[in-house]
Amino acid sequence: MTQPDYDLLIIGGGLVGASLACALDGLELRIGLVEAAPLTVSAHPSYDDRTLALAQGTRRIFQTLGLWEALAATATPIRRIHISERGGPGFAHFDCREEGVEALGYVAEARQVGAALLAKLPNLRGVDLLCPARLETVVIEPEAAGVTIRLGDNHTVQLRTRLLVAADGAQSPVREQLGIAALRWDYGQQAVIANVTPTLPHQNVAYERFTQDGPIALLPMSENRCAVVCTVNDADAARVMALDDAGFMALLHERFGDRLGPFLRVGRRQAYPLFLLKAREHARQRVAIIGNAAHTLHPIAGQGFNLGIRDVAALAEVVAQAWRSGEDIGALPVLNRYADWRRWDQRRTIAFTDALNRLFANPLVPVRVARALGLLAFDGLPPLKHKFARQTMGLYGRLPKLARGLAL
């Protein structure tokens, strides 16, 4: 049999794919990273103005990978979380002191995370950066996956790899070419994001406020800024995006309330369509699927990116163990260990975010009363709150080595 060109080939060099390359550093694997965009912060679409809520578990993984030092100075800690519904008496809160952690999570800009990854990628051992290059074809053979990529100079290259990892986003070409079905549900909503400056200090509190028009989240940032994620119906999105800054800040104030006072400044706005996507399979012979290619979530609880990073940590650990024990890292029994490990965390997180959005979108009065009572009851049950907090922090269940500060 012809020796494959790579032991592992990652399709997609965004935040999740690049994180996997970093996680596998030092294993003496021959790794290729294929990315359609040039690997620069200004050119890559994943390294944009969006703000990421980094769970405590993600922070620990990044710290183990040597990435956190580059982010610590600019990432803003979330000390408390306040959850409420406009017009209702119910609320719930979380406090890092009650959970015994220095922060419940952190807020960082995607471009800052991208810059930290890009600074590390050229120094990885045994990693070829095939960028810019686009995937043309994928063929799965018993002993290897064969791919054809088109490089930036427009010539094609055929490559064979023991394991092909799809980290190529919600519209995954790998998933599509292999005929891996995915459930997709469009919420009929868009997330309008921007940075705002409130009148009052945010005091490192993150807010999730539910309204009849959709949820609105405010995440603390440096210089007393807040990252706002305002969910609007598709029918209202164009109108909201067309508002001048004063009109948009007035809309935010009307939906969020007076807790931080009027908003003084707002940055550039962007809108993204919201949908739920779940791949039917996350592992096949020679193929593993991670990140948004495997699951794309509603941003209501800031879980999507963190779920993808937990995919990275689990897959890297499974691959490392198999490689060191002399197993074929692309064999289905090995990859099923990854899929089985990740299944329950993915299902819990997807079900939770989807149900939360649907529950608080229901305008019926009995449902609103039940929500208010439920929030109050939840806030008064410390054991339930603690379990919920550990899960959203990425510290619940079987934790990968990287999340425990251990090298692979």
Q: ∠ CA 12-18-21 to the nearest 5 degrees?
A: 105
| Mean per-residue pLDDT over the chain, rounded | 91
For residue 46, pLDDT over 80 is answered with: no
For residue 365, pLDDT over 80 is answered with: no
Q: What's the burial of 254, exposed, middle or buried (CB within 10 Å: 0-12/13-18/19+)?
A: exposed
Helix (H), strand (E), coil (C) string for 265-334: EECCCEEEEEEEEEECCCEECCEEECHHHCEECCHHHCCHHHHHHHHHHHHHHHHHHHHHCCCCCCCHHH
In a domain, 193, yes or no: no
For residue 135, pLDDT over 90 is answered with: yes
CATH of the domain at 281: 3.50.50.60
For residue 368, pLDDT over 70 is answered with: no
For residue 114, pLDDT over 60 is answered with: yes
How far apart are the C-alpha atoms of 78 and 98, rounded to whole Å?
A: 13
**For the whole model, what pTM was predicted?**
0.94
What band does 168 get if pLDDT is binned at 50, 70 and 90? Answer: very high
For residue 192, pLDDT over 70 is answered with: yes
pLDDT of residue 139: 95
DSSP structural state of residue 237: H
In a domain, 244, yes or no: no
Q: Domain total for the chain? A: 1
pLDDT of residue 49: 73
In a domain, 17, yes or no: yes
In a domain, 68, yes or no: yes
In a domain, 270, yes or no: no
In a domain, 100, yes or no: no
Show Cβ contacts of residue 97 under 8 Å, excluding neighbours closer than 6 positions.
Answer: none
In a domain, 383, yes or no: no
**Of 222-226, 348-352, 353-357, which range is least confident?**
353-357
For residue 270, pLDDT over 60 is answered with: yes
Domain that holds residue 283: 6-77+105-183+275-364+397-404
